[in-house]
């Protein structure tokens, strides 16, 4: 894969680029912070994996710092207020599940859905990023695969017990993800990303993970089209 920007006319210092980047940068900083909080919460819910989950959480904290550096490099202030609202619904679903000790739901949200969303977004951003952010994002995305693997392995091992819970969590969360994607579409386009590719990459990666944990192709079609308006 070539790393030449698709959109050669991107000006990383233009007002419109920096305006959109302030929201995107806020989203990834807040997203990494929430991922950190979620892994620490999971560390308490899964005593036999506490150490590993704290380790994964610490990576998220470093990701936050790394993306803060990307904003500073472009002299952009991340719009954290926007970002907090952006994640509010997803955070609420996670917190309710955590309070009810619904481990499978929490893992599906953080380790599958959010990580697949992040991997799709970061991989789409890398070819159009400035040099500084590209290197950082490449190293961040390598970590995100580990976070995805953790959840996929646990859900696979406990698939029969939690199949119905996983389906209901998917049902609750995917419409929120599509809404978030629509909300970020214009800013993502301004920084050179492509919404269609982002959606495709998310569906492919998420579908592959669902297959890995035990769902059939037909079930995956139903699960991934949930809330897309075709399911
Ligand atoms: C999990 O480790 C992190 C969760 C972060 C979620 C980020 C979602 C990104 C949404 C679309 C913006 C992509 C732009 C990427 C630029 C760095
Ligand atoms: Fe991360
Ligand atoms: Fe992660």
Q: Which DSSP state fits 47?
A: G
Ligand 1 contact, 188 CB (< 6 A)? yes
* Res 9 pLDDT > 90: no
Q: What pLDDT was estimated at residue 7?
A: 56
Residue 229 has pLDDT above 90, yes or no: no
Q: What is the mean pLDDT of the chain?
A: 95
CB 94 within 8 Å of CB 110: yes
pLDDT in tens, 97-135: 999 999 999 999 999 999 999 999 999 999 999 999 999
Q: Is 29 in the pocket of ligand 1 (CB under 6 A)?
A: no
pLDDT, tens digit (0-9, with 9 covering 90-100), for 168-205: 999 999 999 999 999 999 999 999 999 999 999 999 99
Contacts 24+ apart (CB under 8 A), 138-145: 139/66, 140/63, 140/66, 140/67, 143/59, 143/63, 144/115, 144/118, 144/119, 145/119
Please, are residues 104 and 167 in contact by the beta-carbon 8 Å criterion? no
The Cα 169–Cα 107 span in angstroms is 10
Check whether 2 has a pLDDT greater than 50. no
Find the radius of gyration of the CA atoms of the chain.
17
Q: The whole model's pTM is what?
A: 0.94
**Atom of ligand 1 minimally distant from the CA of 31:** 5
Residue 113 DSSP one-character state:
I
- CB contact set of 216 (below 8 Å; sequence gap of 6+): none
Backbone angles phi, psi at 153, to 5 degrees: -65, -45
Cα of 195 vs centre of ligand 3, distance in Å, is: 21
Residue 167 is encoded by which pair of tokens?
A: 């389906």
Is the CB of 148 inside a 6 Å radius of any atom of ligand 1? no
Q: What is the mean pLDDT of residues 220-224?
A: 95
Q: Which of 5, 18, 24 most suits a substitution to test ligand 1, by most atoms within 8 Å of the C-beta?
A: 24
């Amino acid at each position: 894969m070539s790393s030449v920007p698709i959109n050669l006319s991107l000006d990383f210092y233009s007002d419109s680029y920096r305006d959109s980047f302030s929201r995107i940068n806020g989203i990834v900083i807040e997203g990494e912070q929430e991922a950190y909080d979620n892994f620490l919460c999971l560390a308490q819910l899964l005593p036999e994996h506490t150490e590993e989950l704290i380790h994964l959480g610490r990576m998220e904290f470093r990701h936050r710092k790394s993306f803060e550096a990307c904003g500073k490099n472009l002299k952009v202030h991340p719009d954290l207020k926007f970002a907090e609202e952006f994640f509010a619904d997803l955070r609420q679903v996670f917190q309710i599940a955590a309070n009810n000790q619904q481990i499978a739901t929490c893992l599906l949200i953080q380790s599958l859905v959010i990580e697949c969303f992040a991997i799709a977004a970061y991989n789409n951003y890398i070819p159009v990023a400035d040099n500084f952010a590209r290197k950082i994002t490449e190293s961040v995305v390598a970590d995100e695969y580990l976070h995805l693997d953790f959840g996929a392995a646990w859900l696979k091992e406990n698939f029969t017990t939690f199949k119905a819970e996983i389906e209901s969590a998917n049902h609750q969360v995917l419409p929120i993800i599509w809404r978030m994607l629509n909300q970020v579409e214009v800013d993502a386009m301004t920084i050179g990303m492509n919404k269609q590719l982002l959606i495709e990459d998310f569906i492919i990666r998420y579908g592959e993970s669902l297959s890995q944990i035990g769902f059939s192709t037909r079930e995956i079609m139903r699960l991934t089209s949930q809330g897309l308006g075709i399911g």
